[in-house]
Structure 1
Amino acid sequence: MVQTGGEQTRFWQSRELDGVELLHAHYIEQRFSPHVHEGFVFTVIEQGAQRFRHRGSE
C-alpha cells in the first residue's frame, strides 16, 4: 500500500477475476483532474462521500 500524507492506495490485477484491475484507497483530500475511463468503473464508498461531475451535472 502506498502512503502519502495520510492517504493510502493499493492497485492490483486479480487473477481470480480474470485480470480485473482493482484499487483500494483511503483518500482525504484527493482531487482528480477531469478524465475518462475506457471501460466500466464500479465504486464502493465505505465511509465519507464522493463528489463527481458527469455530463455537466454534479
Structure 2
Amino acid sequence: MDPATFELSLEQQFQMRLVEESLNKMSHEQALDLLLQASRLLMVKDNVIRDLMRRVPL
C-alpha cells in the first residue's frame, strides 16, 4: 500500500486551513461541540462502510 495514498489532496489541505481559521474564531464550547459532531459523523461513516462491506459478495 502506497503511504502517499493517505495524504490529503490539495483541496482537502485547503479545507483543513479553512477549518483551522474557523476554529480560531470559535469559543471553547463551540469547538467542543464541533469536535463531538465530527466524531459522531466519523462513527456513522464507519458504520456505513462496515454495512456496505457486509453486502459485497466475496
TM value normalised by structure 2: 0.21
- Of Structure 1 and Structure 2, the greater strand share is in 1
TM value normalised by structure 1: 0.21
- Of Structure 1 and Structure 2, the greater helix share is in 2
Greater relative contact order, per chain length (Cα 8 Å cut-off, separation 6+): 1
